[in-house]
């Protein structure tokens, strides 16, 4: 009898675990499909877990891929999303989220050869007028949303401009915002536009149509313009656990692809050239048997261009992956 009870207990436990996995898998599919519909671009999620007891949702590896007509790669990388929800409100048909925390690692803004930005090709950026209020007594088709507190951390913005010629101009802006807080968000569209435009306002990227959608949806900020450029230090630096010769050859390849090389010296580890009209210097130093340090600096008319330096270093890093 005791043995039967143990077996029965194991079956119940396994059943609960399997039910939890199926539940999370189903909700993950719904969230992925719903976000894809709102954004207008493919969305992928690595991990999803929902706790009824804690009334919390945790999402790992949230990525949005470029819309049609742009490279088939992620343009938005969010390693982690944490959401606290109100179960009572949910049972009444309202999505009340007391707290949403988003850690945005990277936003890649691409301008194609026609001069159009990938963010402007998203469905969420097509909002042209105030959303009409549903008629009394008729559902709007979308569950009412209320986010009390939204916290956003931002890593960097990468800007790739393919409109300047055969070789794209690549700039990197280290935003470095930690846990900036917003209140009273009332739609999924408003949340999506906020996540997309808040990083961009810290850059010099202008003319984005998505800013118009931000204004329509009540997201109260505009692009920073030229004043928002990162002026100051002219260099970026990364240590790679890669062979020195491979790092040098890769750096030289990137310099030639992004611009033109003027000076190459493998002995001193110096590569000089021009990228996007800037004088760029790549310095490669072998720190240990396994570690090579790469420093990229960029200036134009003696003015530091840290975003150009960051763009070159980003490409070197991508090539070395």
Average pLDDT over residues 235-245: 89
Query: Tokens 């109260």 map to which residue?
Result: 220
pLDDT at residue 41, rounded to an integer: 86
Of 36-40, 171-175, 247-251, 260-264, the poorest mean pLDDT is in: 36-40
pTM of the full structure: 0.69
Across all residues in the chain, what is the average pLDDT? 78
pLDDT at residue 230, rounded to an integer: 30
CA distance linking residue 162 with residue 171, whole number of Å: 12
Buried b (16+ CB within 10 A) or exposed e, 267-302: eebebbbbbbebbbbbbbeeeeeeebbbbbbbbbee
Percent with pLDDT over 70 in the chain: 76
What are 119-175's pLDDT values in tens digits?
888 887 775 544 444 444 444 456 788 888 889 999 999 999 988 877 888 989 988
Whole-angstrom distance between the N-terminal and C-terminal Cα of the chain? 59
Has residue 280 got a pLDDT over 60?
A: yes
All domains of the chain in start order, with CATH: 23-128+141-228 (no CATH), 235-319 (3.30.310.80)
Query: Tokens 């800007």 map to which residue?
Result: 159
pLDDT at residue 176, rounded to an integer: 87
Inter-residue contact 172 to 234 (CB < 8 Å): no
3-state secondary structure of 170: strand
Has residue 221 got a pLDDT over 60?
A: no
Inter-residue contact 119 to 65 (CB < 8 Å): no
pLDDT band at 302 (very low <50, low <70, confident <90, very high): confident
DSSP letter, residue 209: T
| Token pair recorded at residue 257 | 């692809």
Has residue 225 got a pLDDT over 50?
A: no
pLDDT at residue 201, rounded to an integer: 75
What are 67-126's pLDDT values in tens digits?
888 988 999 999 999 999 888 888 888 888 899 999 999 999 999 888 888 988 888 777
């Amino acid at each position: 009898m005791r043995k039967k009870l143990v077996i029965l207990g194991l079956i119940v436990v396994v059943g609960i675990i399997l039910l939890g996995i199926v539940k999370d898998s189903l909700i993950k599919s719904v969230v992925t499909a719903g976000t894809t519909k709102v954004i207008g671009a493919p969305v992928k999620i690595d991990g999803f877990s929902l706790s009824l007891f804690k009334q919390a949702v945790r999402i790992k590896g949230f990525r949005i891929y470029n819309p049609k007509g742009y490279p088939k790669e992620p343009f938005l990388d969010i390693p982690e999303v944490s959401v606290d929800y109100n179960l009572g409100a949910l049972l009444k048909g309202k999505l009340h989220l007391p707290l949403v925390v988003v850690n945005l690692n990277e936003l890649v803004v691409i301008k194609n050869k026609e001069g159009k930005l990938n963010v402007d090709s998203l469905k969420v950026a097509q909002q042209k007028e105030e959303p009409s209020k549903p008629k009394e007594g008729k559902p709007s088709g979308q569950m009412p949303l209320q986010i009390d507190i939204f916290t956003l951390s931002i890593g960097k913005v990468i800007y790739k401009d393919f409109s300047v010629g055969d070789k794209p101009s690549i700039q990197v802006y280290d935003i470095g915002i930690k846990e900036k807080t917003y209140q009273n968000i009332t739609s999924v569209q408003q949340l999506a536009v906020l996540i997309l435009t808040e990083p961009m306002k810290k850059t010099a990227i202008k003319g984005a149509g998505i800013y118009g959608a931000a204004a329509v949806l009540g997201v109260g900020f505009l692009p920073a313009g030229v004043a928002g450029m990162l002026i100051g230090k002219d260099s970026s630096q990364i240590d790679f656990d890669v062979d020195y010769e491979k790092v040098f050859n890769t750096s030289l390849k990137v310099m030639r692809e992004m611009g033109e090389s003027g000076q190459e010296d493998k002995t001193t580890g110096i590569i000089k050239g021009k990228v996007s009209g800037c004088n760029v210097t790549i310095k490669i130093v072998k720190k240990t048997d396994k570690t090579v340090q790469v420093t990229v600096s960029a200036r134009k008319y003696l003015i530091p261009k840290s975003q150009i330096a960051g763009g070159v270093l980003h490409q070197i890093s991508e090539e070395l992956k």
